[in-house]
Amino acid sequence: MRENLLADMKPHLLYHKLPQDTSAVTCQTSKSPQFYKWALLITGIVVLLLLILLTQLLLLPLLLVPVDYHNNALLFQTESCSDSCRAVLVESIPQGLSFNSSMPSPAIADVWTNMIVEAKHSLDIASFYWTMTNEDTNTSEPTAQTGEQILQELIKLPKTGVSVRIAVDSSQSFKSQKDLQALKDGGVLVREVNMLKLTKGVLHTKFWVVDKTHLFIGSANMDWRSLTQVKELGLAMYNCSCLAQDLEKIFEMYWFLGQPDAVIPHHWPSNYSTAYNQDTPLSILVNGTSSRIYLSSAPPALCPDGRTQDLQAILSIIEDAEEFVYIAVMNFLPVMEFSHHKRYWSDIDSQLRRIAYERKIKVRLLISCWPHSEPVMFTFLRSLAAINDHKSKLDIEVVNICPQPIY
């Protein structure tokens, strides 16, 4: 369902500024599998997280005042590390979409290929599912070739002496197993994590760690469509071992949970804990600028000692805004979309309204619109977009990106 939509969406792509006073804005609904609904929500969260990471990375250095570690030891207990990291923002732009970016970024496919070339000892990949070939998706699209090539390179990697491990959500077992089988045949170690059983959720993380030195975090699934058909965003960091080793601890957690009959420990052993978090971020040079950075995780049961939770990180980065908060996600609605009973859940929504009102922060939301988007999402978004009044300096705007006209 989603697949067809993605293939079809390019020619009709429209931008809609959400009106503040009409009830005409809805999408047609159709029941999508629970699985995809989860995927949508968590994709949203992942993009937000990326935003946090990027904001920490790109904005904080500008605000960073020279720190006197003796006097401000308690205020800035920053863990330092001598890494001088290179950070590159990477994107997938759907092929055929005319998108004249003033700041073109390298393609995610090129960065993955590059990471495979760089790998000398190890490559660990955390993933949701694998459909890297036309065969997997029952398609015959020429643009699948990029994904097919990368899969072949990954299959060949163990033969060159690189240890390759993949953690994948066990919902993959409902999809084609061909990619994973071919990877296993090539010597790749694969563990399926039954997140549904462990947390009632999915393993929706997507990241790569190369030689415990380079890393990639982004929205792209291990899906050929994420390389050529879907708008995706990611961050690659090279020569960044302190952060890569911290990300590796998150991978080790998934790897542990991927054992048969694994259960989440009541208390994670101390080697999973981290010193880098909201209170004591890692201090590194990023492209020559001193920066503070930490990785957060969710749900709380997957946060060993010291790991900041995603929600706390998201609320705190919004709180840190001095001028604006820009959000680009698939879904944004203040409810628990996947809970059995209807539940209102407005932590992030409230935080946006609060900073817009109390601190006059400009808020912009760029939200996807799908035939299967919850109709109530547009109702809630209209209520956010209604908070816009020049006289009171309230400045919230919402834009929907829709595959077809929604009026």
Ligand X SMILES: *[C@@H]1O[C@H](CO)[C@@H](O)[C@H](O)[C@H]1NC(C)=O
Least distance in angstroms from the C-beta of 30 to ligand X: 18
Q: How does 214-249 read in b/e, with b if 16+ C-beta sit within 10 Å?
A: bbbbbbbbbbbbbbbbbbbbbbbbbebbbbbbbbbb
User: Which span (67-75, 269-277, 323-331, 379-387) binds ligand X, by CB under 6 A?
Assistant: 269-277
Q: Contact with ligand X (CB under 6 A): which of 13, 59, 64, 89?
A: 89
- In the chain, the N- to C-terminal Cα span, in Å, equals 22
Taking the C-alpha atoms of residue 275 and residue 384, their distance in angstroms, rounded to an integer, is 37
- Does 287 bind ligand X (CB under 6 A)? Our answer is yes
| Residue 344: DSSP 8-state | B
Give one word for 212, left, alpha or beta, with left for phi > 0 and alpha for psi -120 to 50: left
Question: Which of 41, 244 has the CB closer to ligand X?
Answer: 244
196 near 216, Cβ under 8 Å? Answer: no
Least distance in angstroms from the C-beta of 260 to ligand X: 15
Taking the C-alpha atoms of residue 43 and residue 36, their distance in angstroms, rounded to an integer, is 10
Least distance in angstroms from the C-beta of 88 to ligand X: 5
Q: Which residue has the tokens 């050929």?
A: 224
Least distance in angstroms from the C-beta of 133 to ligand X: 12
Taking the C-alpha atoms of residue 349 and residue 314, their distance in angstroms, rounded to an integer, is 11
DSSP per-residue string spanning 354-385: HHHHHS--EEEEEEE--TTS-HHHHHHHHHHH
Least distance in angstroms from the C-beta of 267 to ligand X: 13
- Does 86 bind ligand X (CB under 6 A)? Our answer is yes
Q: Contact with ligand X (CB under 6 A): which of 272, 294, 332, 370?
A: 272
- Does 100 bind ligand X (CB under 6 A)? Our answer is yes
Kindly write out the interface string for residues 198-227 of this chain, putting x where it contacts ligand X by CB under 6 A and - elsewhere: ----------------x-------------
User: Which span (84-92, 146-154, 163-171, 309-317) binds ligand X, by CB under 6 A?
Assistant: 84-92
- List contacts with ligand X (CB under 6 A): 86-89, 98, 100, 118, 138, 214, 238-239, 249, 252, 269, 271-272, 287
